[in-house]
Amino acid sequence: MFFLRNAWIIPAIPVASFWVILLFGKRLPKKGSEVGVAALAIAFALSCLTFGAWIARDAKPAAEVVAATAPATAAGPGHVEGGEGAGGAHELPSETHHAEELRPAVDRNLFTWFEMGGTKVEFGTHIDGLAVTLLFVVTLISLLVHIFSTAYMKGDRRYTHFFASLSLFTSGMLILVTARTTLQMILGWEIMGLCSFMLIGHWWEEKPNSDAALKAFFTTRTGDVGLLVGVSILFFGAGRTFDAATINAAALSGRMPHWVLLMGATALFVAVIGKSAQFPLHTWLPDAMAGPTPVSALIHAATMVVAGVYLVARMYGVFWKAFSITAPGHAGFNPVAIVGGLTILIAAALAFVQNDIKKVLAYSTVSQLGYMVMGLGVGAWMGAVFHIFTHAFFKASLFLGAGSVSHGGSHHSFDMKKDMGGLKKHMPITFWTFAVSSVALAGIPILAGFWSKDEILLGAGKNGYTVFLVVGLMGAMMTAAYMTRCVYLTFFGEARGNAAHHHPHESPPAITGPLVVLAFLSVVAGLLNAPGITLFGKWNLNEVLVTAGVPEHTFNYGYAAVSTLIAATGIVIGGLWYFRNLGPHGITQRVKPLHAGYVFLDNKYYLDVLYTDGVVGSIKGPIARGAYWVNQNVLDGVVNGVGIAARRVAQFVYDVIDQQVVDGAVNGAGFTAESGGSLLRVFQTGRVQNYAAIMFGVAALSALGLAVLVTK
Partner 1 sequence: MHLNAFLLLAAFLFCTGVYGALARKNAVLVLMSIELILNAVNVNLVAFGAFQRSIVGHIFALFVVAIAAAEVGVGLAIVLLIYRNRHSIDLTEVDLMKG
Partner 2 sequence: MLTAAASTDLNTVEYVVFGVIAASMAIAAIRVVTAKNIVHAALYLVVVLAGVAALYVMLAAEFIAVVQVLVYIGAIVVLLLFGTMLTRAPIGTTSDLDNEQRGVSLVVSLFLLGVLGWTLTKAFGWSHMPETPVQRTADVGNSIFQSFVIPFEVVSILLLAALVGAVVIARRD
Using the rule CB under 8 A, which residue among 580, 593, 711, 712 binds partner 2? 711
Binder among 524, 657, 669, 707 for partner 2 (CB under 8 A): 707
* Residues 339 and 273: beta-carbon distance below 8 Å: yes
Q: Which residues contact 149 (CB under 8 A, 6 or more apart)?
A: 33, 162, 163, 166, 292, 294
CA distance 264 to 269: 9
Q: Which of 661, 679, 688, 709 binds partner 1 (CB under 8 A)?
A: 688
Q: Are 284 and 351 in contact (CB under 8 A)?
A: no
**Strand partners for 111:** 123
The least CB distance from residue 702 to partner 1, in Å, is: 15
Query: Per rule CB under 8 A, is residue 681 in the interface with partner 1?
Result: yes
Alpha-carbon dihedral of residues 370, 371, 372, 378, nearest 10 degrees? Answer: 110
Question: Of the listed pieces 232-240, 331-339, 580-588, 677-685, which binds partner 1 according to CB under 8 A?
Answer: 677-685
Decide: residue 48, CB within 10 A, 0-12 exposed, 13-18 middle, 19+ buried: middle
- Provide, rounded to whole angstroms, the least separation between the CB of residue 221 and partner 1: 23
Distance CA 304, CA 25 (A): 25
Q: Considering the rule CB under 8 A, would residue 687 count as an interface residue with partner 1?
A: yes
Stretch that binds partner 1, among 282-290, 620-628, 636-644, 680-688 (CB under 8 A): 680-688
Quote the least distance from Cβ 182 to partner 2, whole Å. Answer: 17
Does 94 sit near partner 1 (CB under 8 A)? Answer: no
Residue 682 within binding range of partner 2, rule CB under 8 A: no
Alpha carbons 633 and 400: distance in angstroms, whole number: 61
Q: Which is nearer to partner 1, 207 or 687 (CB)?
A: 687
Query: Which of 29, 77, 78, 117 is in the footprint of partner 2 by CB under 8 A?
Result: 117
Strand, coil or helix: what is 504?
A: coil
Looking at 118-257, list the stretches that DSSP marks H as alpha helix, in order from N- to C-terminal side: 129-152, 159-178, 182-200, 207-237, 244-253
Q: How far apart are CA 570 and CA 484, in angstroms?
A: 8
Is 116 a residue that touches partner 2 (CB under 8 A)? yes
Query: In the complex, what is the shortest distance from the CB of residue 697 to partner 2, in angstroms, rounded to a whole number?
Result: 5
Q: Of the listed pieces 58-66, 459-467, 526-534, 690-698, which binds partner 1 according to CB under 8 A?
A: 690-698
Stretch that binds partner 1, among 67-75, 173-181, 517-525, 685-693 (CB under 8 A): 685-693
- Cβ–Cβ under 8 Å, residues 143 and 303: no
**Is residue 218 near partner 2 by the rule CB under 8 A?**
no
* Minimum CB distance to partner 2 smaller for 117 or for 155: 117
Residue 232 or 355 with smaller CB distance to partner 2: 232
Selected binder of partner 1 within 532, 586, 593, 686 (CB under 8 A): 686
Name the residue nearer to partner 2 (CB basis): 533 or 706. 706
707 binds, among partner 1, partner 2, none (CB under 5 to 8 A by kind): partner 2
Q: Is 696 in the site for partner 2 (CB under 8 A)?
A: yes
Cα separation, 670 vs 250, in Å, equals 77
Beta-carbon contacts of 276 under 8 Å, excluding residues fewer than 6 positions away, are 305, 306, 307, 308, 309, 369, 372, 373
CA separation for the pair 280, 143 (Å, rounded): 32
Question: Which one, 557 or 683, has the nearer CB to partner 1?
Answer: 683
What does the longest C-alpha to C-alpha distance in the chain come to? 112
Helix (H/G/I), strand (E/B), else coil: 116: strand
Q: Which of 671, 696, 698, 707 binds partner 1 (CB under 8 A)?
A: 696
Residues that bind partner 1 (CB under 8 A): 681, 684-689, 692-693, 696
Residues that bind partner 2 (CB under 8 A): 116-118, 689-690, 693, 696-697, 699-700, 703-704, 707, 711
